[in-house]
Amino acid sequence: MSDPNVTPEPPVTEMELVGTEDQCSYLPDQTSRMIWRLARRLTESRYEQLLERGWRRFGRVLFRPACPSCTACQGLRVSVNDFQPSRSQRRCRDELDQHQIQIVIQQPTLTAEHIQLYNSYHHDMHHRRGWPFRQITRDDYFESFIDGNFSFAREVQYRLDGRLIGLGLVDITSTCLSSIYFFHDPEWRQYGLGTWSVLQELQQAKNMSLQWIYMGYFIHDCQSMKYKSSFRPHQLLRSFPPDHVSPNWH
């Protein structure tokens, strides 16, 4: 069904490319293919329309799955007003609240502290879960998290005694928050800092009277994504419609 609320963008603002098939990073027995869009500019209203249709953003690049033989990836969004933390989430929240971690929300920045924390986190995940590891450079970080200088882009810093122990990249519009990426000091893994950061994003979204938090893709058989489905109630987007078709979240 066509969506009359979609604001078409002039073609020059979004250049679309279809990627080649490759081995899936999440399901080893599957292949994957992505559609990419390079956004020269991106208004808030246009971005909300893209989020509703399952697009994700890193820097100027928007992407979503277009796998030829697999539909395991599903968009997941959490209803902000209806969210109720589980017992384990409440326990995580209460324990970390005692540490009096300072939260700073601001435009994304790039410092040596950012690079060091990102590389420490990924080095730990390389040994813990076998993630491929390559030291990120300042240029890499800028391209992934800062390029575009979009008005809705934010970073959420988590500091303890002035030291950066966690950092979340998010987008905040008038109706929703999109959780892009989070990394943290490996020493804090045992405390559930990742879960706590999502709870903080949900609280921030509630304070701002937002409707949804978009948490990216959920794959039922991928262990790294299991945590997303524990935030309830949520909706899933099981297929990714073209721009002129209304999305079917349920």
Considering the domain boundaries, does residue 1 fall inside one? Answer: no
Write the CB contacts of 111 (distance below 8 Å, at least 6 apart in sequence).
none
Q: Distances from the Cα of 71 to the Cαs of 68, 89, 103, 178, in angstroms? A: 8, 29, 37, 22
What phi and psi values does residue 182 have, to the nearest 5 degrees?
A: -140, 135
Contacts of 76 (CB under 8 A, 6+ apart): 214, 215, 216, 217, 218, 228, 229, 234, 235, 236, 237
Residues 51 and 155 in one domain: no
Kindly give, in sequence order, each residue whose CB lies less than 8 Å from that of residue 177, ignoring residues fewer than 6 positions away: 80, 170, 171, 201, 204, 205, 208, 210, 212, 213, 214
Give the structural domain span for 15.
Answer: 11-73
- 113-119 contacts at long range (C-beta below 8 A, 24 or more positions apart): 113/164, 114/141, 114/164, 114/167, 115/141, 117/164, 117/165, 117/166, 117/167, 117/183, 117/184, 117/185, 118/167, 118/183
Q: Indicate whether 52 and 157 sit together in one domain.
A: no
User: 250 lies in a domain?
Assistant: no
Among residues 73, 90, 123, the one where a domain terminates is: 73
Residue 246: inside a domain, yes or no?
Answer: no
Count: domains in the chain? 2
Q: pTM here?
A: 0.92
Q: Do both 114 and 185 map to the same domain?
A: yes
For residue 4, tell me if it sits in a domain: no
Based on the domain organization, do 68 and 80 belong to the same domain? no
Residues 173 and 58 in one domain: no
DSSP-derived letter for residue 247 is -
Q: Residue 121's domain is classified under what CATH number?
A: 3.40.630.30
Q: Does 244 fall in a domain?
A: no
Residues 47 and 69 in one domain: yes
pLDDT tens for the chain, 250 residues long, are: 556 666 555 445 789 999 999 999 899 899 999 999 999 999 999 999 999 999 999 999 999 999 988 999 999 999 999 999 999 999 999 999 999 999 999 999 999 999 999 999 999 988 887 777 889 999 999 999 999 999 999 999 999 999 999 999 999 999 999 999 999 999 999 999 999 999 999 999 999 999 999 999 999 999 889 999 999 999 999 999 999 999 999 9
Confirm whether 196 is domain-assigned.
yes
**6 in a structural domain:** no
Q: CA distances (Å), 157 to each of 172, 192, 227, in order?
A: 15, 16, 21
